Structure 1
Amino acid sequence: MTATAYGLIVDVLTNKFGVEEADVSPDVTLKDLQLDSLAALEVADVLKEVSGVAVDDSGFRDGTLREIAQGLEAQMGESA
């Protein structure tokens, strides 16, 4: 997991969804952060906007932020 993908996720969660940075770590899920399934889809949409790549949102809510970052990195690598 690169700092870039994870940092992008943290930035989106804290600045667009009001999540406290202290609550964010690589091993928490969106569910742990009290974001419901609709919010998870919104997070995926925002990540798509800011990264410029299609984000696979399957399992997004239950995956850890580490797993989401790894998936985002894979998608970014495929579009490069």
Structure 2
Amino acid sequence: MTGSVATMIIEILTGKFDVPSEEVTPSTVLEDVEVDSLALLELSLILEKRLGVSIDEGTLSSAQTVSEAADVIARLGDTAPAAA
């Protein structure tokens, strides 16, 4: 799931936040593409809606890489109750 989350984050950054696609890779640090606290909140809300997970404030940080942020979000999805 991490790979698909990373791809989703990159798509959001390039589509919603108009970051040039050549500037965003899984190793890109979010603050390097000017993702500030407001953008992090918006990114979190978009990911919550798309993935059906709850992302607490402070879970994502502009110091994280795209891959690190995706790992955190993927773990949130992994902790959802399993269907019996």
Cα distance change, pair 68–56 in 1 and its aligned pair in 2 (3 A): farther
Residue in 2 that maps onto 1:64: 65
Return the offset for 1:55: 2.0
**Partner letter of residue 9 of structure 1?**
I
Residue in 1 that maps onto 2:31: 31
Q: Which of the two has higher C-alpha Rg?
A: 2
After TM superposition, the score normalised by the length of structure 2 is 0.81
List alignment gaps of at least 5 residues for structure 2.
none
After TM superposition, the score normalised by the length of structure 1 is 0.85
Percentage of matched positions with identical amino acids: 32
Q: Secondary structure at the match of 2:31?
A: coil
Moved more, 10-19 or 53-62: 53-62
**Cα distance in 1 between the residues matched to 2:46 and 2:55:** 9
List alignment gaps of at least 5 residues for structure 1.
none
Residue in 2 that maps onto 1:19: 19
Count residues in correspondence.
Answer: 80
**Cα distance in 2 between the residues matched to 1:12 and 1:41:** 13
Residue in 2 that maps onto 1:53: 53
**Cα distance in 1 between the residues matched to 2:28 and 2:71:** 14
**Cα distance in 1 between the residues matched to 2:57 and 2:69:** 9
Say if 1:56 and 1:71, in contact at 8 Å, map to a contact too. Answer: no
